A and B are shown apart, each in its own frame.
Chain A
Amino acid sequence: MHRLRSFISRCIATLRPRRAATDEDLSTELKSHVQFLTEENIRRGMNEADARAAANREFGGVEQTKEKYREQRGWSAMSALWRDVRYGSRLLTKTPALSAVIILILAVGIGSGTAIYSLIDACLLRSNTYPVVDRWDVIRAYLPSQKIYSNYLSTPEILEVKQLTDIFDDVGAVHGDGFTLSAGEFPERIGGTHVSANAITMTQVAPFMGRTFLPEEDHPGGPLVALLSYELWHRKFSEDRNILGKPIRLSDVTYTVVGVMPPHFDFWGGQVWIPLQLDLADQNRSDRRNWIVGVLRKDVTEKQANARLRALSMQLAERYGTAMPEYRDWSLAVWNINEAVIGGVRPALLTLAGAVAFLVLIASANVAILLMARSTARMREIAVRMALGARPRQIVRQLLTESLLIAIIAAIAGVCIAAATLPLLVHMIPLEWLTTFPELIRVNIRALAVACGIAATVGVLFGLAPALQLARQDFVESLKEGGSKIGGDRRGRSARSSLVVAEIAMSLVVLAACALMLQSYRHLQGIDLGFRPDHMLSFEISLPQVHYARRDQIAGFFQRAVASIQSLPHVDAAGVVSGQPMTDRTVDLASRDFSIEGRPTQDAHANENANFRIVTPGYFRTMGMRLLQGRALSEQDGVNAPPTTVINESMSHTYWPNGDALGKQIRLGRVYGRREMYAQADAPEVVLTIVGIVADVKQTRVIEQPARPEIYIPLAQQTDPPRDMAFVVRSSIDPTQLVTSIRGALATIDPQEPVSDVDTMDQIVVDAFGPKRLTLFLLAFLAAVVLVLSSVGLYAALAYSVGQRRHEIGIRVALGADGRDISRMVVAHGARLALLGVALGLGASLLLTRLMKDLLYGVSAGDPLTLAGTALLLTAVALIACFVPARRATQIDPLVALRYE
């Protein structure tokens, strides 16, 4: 029994936390020591109080001894940390509102910054494409005489680039195409790409199922095989696991499926890939119909590659220059695929990234202000602790733990905010604006890490400020009653003031950027598109070569289709065009050299060049384009009539500045661009008479760019009419109600041909503004957060300063200052900071907004009106932020304030 009990107590002793026991032991031990001393003193004849005091003196400070003892005992790292964390969280909860605000601001900074950056990264940087994307290039030619890049090159040129094995790991060729997929109930138009066998393996992305192409499949007359995108496989083939080896029909040709690519594999925008089957024996250098893609060797820079390509261009000029004038001054160069995809959006990207950086900095500055204010308030407490024997190292460690505690809680909250905001943002943004799959937009870990890092650094730096300040000064000073209250804390105040000023300045930059974007967006929306997009439906039809080989078949189909649509009720007009304006695929697709009859060309090989579009006569009226001179094309401009053309205003201005273009003749030459669209590879030279001039139409989505010279040619007079055409229909009712009747009308002509890309013109125009609106939207979001944060910063600094100056304000009130004087004093203080910040911000804006001038249209980067408006708004918000602390200052009761000290 006896033994058992002792065993149990031993067990309990082991289980009991050791540290707590020893701390208690020490107390007992020291207490008994002092008691011994006291008793001894009493025995010597002192009274009890004296005896105790003397004992304490002899012992020399119980608390200091404890502190030293503890230090000697050496906390295990964990228990010290635990103690600091406990103490830290106790302090945090002691001022719950302040702690919550600090954490909230930090979390909002981390969270929203990360969310926006993740969105930018996913949409614009697309850091998650292929492993080789940094070295993946398009090789294109620059033609200085036409000031255009030619992305399409000929077979001999492809082979010549392919021989540069010293700079390229691999070189392939591709060209985009459209196919009519006959699967399921209705035939459907899908995008597809012809690729050389190595082009897909070059991306180093493995197929999800099956295999990619074999070299033996990439010869003319080789087997007709196809690779499907995961999305197509999912959508049209219900993820059929046994699809490999099965036939599919693309534009009435049967292909065998050999593989399925993984989800989100984006290669030339297609949903299906088929072998290019390039005829390597083709010697025709002017038949340029493929893009060259290559992967740079790891040790080769773009500069080296371009030097090598330039040498090749010069070789070609030397050998073929006489027969082919375009070789004389052209030069080949690499164009990184990332650059090709995001090059145009880089200014937007940089602007947004800059705004995000400012957001995080402003949030950090806010936290710094609040932390400094809080720590300064704790100087007394720290001084007391140091007087009681705490070492500076311990104080620093503890403040550090506390700051880190804030940073960690804020980081966790920030992650939650980022995770919550991102889907919300993605949800708020229309799908068409996103350049990536929404499911690929995830919280970016690197951005999160950077934001948390900045937040933690700020927290630590400013959390430690009081300890560092104490290390410099005598803490006895801080202990003196009210010592640091009246005039003191000057350094802290000036630091806080500079932070507030910096914050306001940064906010102004972000607000100014947003205001400029807004202005330029409004200007863009005000641009005359050259056509009326309302009440218009558009769709596309591609005729298969199998059934439509001859000119009369192609032209006949489109003319009959237009006629039958025009006879439908509610249809005002209908037309067909070879390149529809403002769709996402409308880059200036095709252009043609020409010369003006009777006018000598200045330079033998510097031909004039203009975009061209093949149209039916009703196109101009349907689009609502303005006829400026002469007449529009008409049904009289038929096969047997003299060849005619209508040109646009830009062309008329450029070549006939005196306005005498009508009746002049032009001779058409070489064709550039997607020649596979046309029935015949080589267009014969024809002479056209200009019969009319129409207003410029914004053809591409880059609507701020001036229109290029443009030639409209009647479809009826084309010897090689294109098979891919877009229809435009103008109606008197909501155009979407016409879709069924139009499908019916077309089915009576050829039920096999699918209608694709059905959309209203209004929607197409809205989509064209998508990326710009996305930038504006994100920037506005950032600006709003920044505005709130900086006003909170100003508010916090002022409120703290009012708290600090209670005593002073109390004296002022006692000496007769009334509420208005006091509030004026506080508001003046805030206004000084705000105005200084606004002034600095204006300077910074003038410097920084210049970087976004490529983004702006119709408004200069330093637009005084926009900047003034922004400054006014910010000042107004800042003054509102001053109002609450000012009010609180007037409510200070001098009696309370003075007694408080």
Chain B
Amino acid sequence: MTPPSGEVLQGTLDLIVLKTLDAMGSQHGYGIAMRIQQVSEDLLKLNQGTLYPALLRLEQRGWISSKWGVSENNRKAKFYTLTRTGRRQLATETESWERMAAVIQRLIRTQGA
């Protein structure tokens, strides 16, 4: 049952990506992956390939939009941006995540005591 430590929990990748885009504005896939690793201080071992189906999923739901552009080192790359519904979704997901995390924390503590 326990996922190997450091792997991204099922369902949390969406939240992570949304939050990253919220923080960084428009960003390409590589940038998102770097940012996630940077913020998690390499604790989160993201299989970078899995990012793309997730990005597509988010785009399909209308939470992010994509556009071809040129990266800082002059490479053709697809840039993703949070949409307005995406921003709203981020708020709800953050809230529900915090609630869930709190519940789990409480559960763990009670169990520990």
Contacts and interface: CB of A to CB of B under 8 A. Distances in A.
Interface in A1-57: 25-26, 28-30, 32-33, 35-37, 39
A72 B53 contact: yes
B77 A65 contact: no
B97 interface: no
A516 B106 CA distance: 87
A26 B77 contact: no
Contacts of A61: 49
Given A33-B29, A33-B30, A35-B75, A72 B56 contact: yes
Contact of B78 (A25, A58, A69, A71): A25
How big is chain B's contact interface, by range? Answer: 20 to 34
Nearest to B56: A72
A59 B78 contact: no
B99 interface: no
B76 interface: yes
B76 A32 contact: yes
A25 to B, nearest CB: 7
Interface in B40-54: 47-50, 52-53
A33 B79 CA distance: 12
B63 to A, nearest CB: 14
B77 A29 contact: yes
Contact of A65 (B30, B53, B68): B53
A39 B30 CA distance: 12
A32 B76 CA distance: 7
B88 interface: no
A35 to B, nearest CB: 7
Given A65-B53, A69-B53, A33 B76 contact: no
A790 B55 CA distance: 56
A68 interface: yes
28 contacts: A26-B52, A29-B29, A29-B52, A29-B77, A29-B78, A30-B49, A32-B30, A32-B75, A33-B29, A35-B75, A36-B30, A36-B71, A37-B30, A39-B73, A59-B47, A60-B48, A60-B49, A60-B50, A61-B49, A62-B49, A65-B49, A68-B49, A68-B50, A68-B53, A69-B52, A69-B53, A71-B53, A72-B53
Interface string A777-820: 00000000000000000000000000000000000000000000
Given A32-B77, A33-B29, A37-B30, A60 B47 contact: yes
Interface in A156-199: none
B84 interface: no
Nearest to A74: B60
Contacts of B73: 39
- Top 9 nearest A-B pairs (CB, nearest first) are A65-B49, A60-B47, A36-B30, A72-B53, A60-B49, A68-B53, A33-B30, A59-B48, A72-B56
Contacts of A39: 73
Contacts of A71: 53
Contacts of B30: 32-33, 36-37
B52 A30 contact: yes
Interface in A667-720: none
A614 B28 CA distance: 110
Contacts of A33: 28-30, 33, 48
Contacts of A68: 49-50, 52-53
A525 interface: no
Contacts of B68: 25
A28 B52 CA distance: 12
A28 B49 CA distance: 14
A734 to B, nearest CB: 89
A65 B33 CA distance: 15
Interface string B57-93: 1001000000010010101111000000000000000
Given A37-B30, A72-B56, A72-B57, A58 B48 contact: yes
Contacts of A72: 53, 56-57, 60
Interface of A: 25-26, 28-30, 32-33, 35-37, 39, 58-62, 64-65, 68-69, 71-73
A392 B50 CA distance: 20
Contacts of B57: 72
Nearest to A62: B49
A64 B48 CA distance: 12
Nearest to B37: A58
A65 B75 contact: no
B57 to A, nearest CB: 6
Contacts of B33: 33
Given A33-B48, A37-B30, A64-B49, A69 B75 contact: no
Contacts of B76: 28, 32
Contacts of A60: 47-50
A69 B77 contact: no
B100 to A, nearest CB: 24
A35 B57 CA distance: 24
Contacts of B48: 33, 37, 58-60
Contacts of A26: 52
A39 B77 CA distance: 15
Max chain B Cβ within 10 angstroms of own Cβ: one of A36, A39, A69, A72: A36
Given A72-B60, A73-B60, 15 more contacts: A25-B68, A28-B76, A29-B52, A29-B78, A32-B71, A32-B76, A33-B28, A33-B33, A35-B75, A39-B73, A62-B49, A64-B49, A68-B49, A69-B53, A72-B53
A65 B56 contact: no
B55 to A, nearest CB: 9
A285 to B, nearest CB: 89
Contacts of A37: 30, 48
Max chain A Cβ within 10 angstroms of own Cβ: one of B29, B33, B53: B53
Nearest to B31: A36
Contacts of A58: 48
Contacts of A69: 52-53, 56
B80 to A, nearest CB: 10
A73 B78 CA distance: 16
Contacts of B60: 72-73
Contacts of B53: 65, 68-69, 71-72
A455 B29 CA distance: 50
A59 B51 CA distance: 9
Contacts of A25: 68, 78
B78 A65 contact: no
B29 to A, nearest CB: 5
Contacts of B52: 26, 29-30, 65, 68-69
Contact of B50 (A30, A32, A62, A65): A65
A59 B52 CA distance: 11
Contacts of B71: 32, 36
Contacts of B56: 69, 72-73
A21 to B, nearest CB: 11
A68 B28 CA distance: 19
A684 B49 CA distance: 110
B14 to A, nearest CB: 12
A35 B48 CA distance: 13
A32 B68 CA distance: 12
Contacts of A30: 49, 52
Contacts of B28: 32-33
A201 B2 CA distance: 82
A64 to B, nearest CB: 7
Contacts of A73: 56, 60
Nearest to A61: B49
A58 B51 CA distance: 12
B75 A36 contact: yes
A665 B57 CA distance: 107
B54 to A, nearest CB: 8
Nearest to A63: B49
A68 to B, nearest CB: 5
A193 to B, nearest CB: 75
